[in-house]
Amino acid sequence: MRAYINGQQALTGNDFIELALGTPVELWLGVEGESEMERAARLDAARDILADNPGLPEDAFRLAATAIEERADDLFNVVPLARPVTRARRVRKGAAA
């Protein structure tokens, strides 16, 4: 089964988020090892996007809440694991024969 959002195929969870928000996930979360200059440029771009789209945070929260609500049965289907039974060690006193 293939999933499309606005004519674009979504293959991974990040694809769904990126297509739903219209921006790459890395713009908001950053990437490992980015320099201070790259981080400043990324945050500046994020501020510009938020200034142009003031409803974006609410849309993102609504999208996340909807996804959680639709998948709540799978997400919260937690089964407690059985605890292993521990045995008390027997203590022997005296010399072994």
Dist. CA 55–CA 6, nearest whole Å: 19
Write down the pTM of the prediction.
Answer: 0.53
Tens-place pLDDT, residues 15-38: 777 877 778 888 888 999 999 999
Dist. CA 56–CA 62, nearest whole Å: 10
Residues 6+ apart with CB under 8 A from 10: 3, 4, 16, 19
Nearest 10 degrees: Cα torsion 24, 26, 29, 35: -140
Tens-place pLDDT, residues 58-91: 887 887 788 778 877 777 777 777 777 777 677 6
- Count, in order, helices (H) and strands (E) of the chain: 5, 2
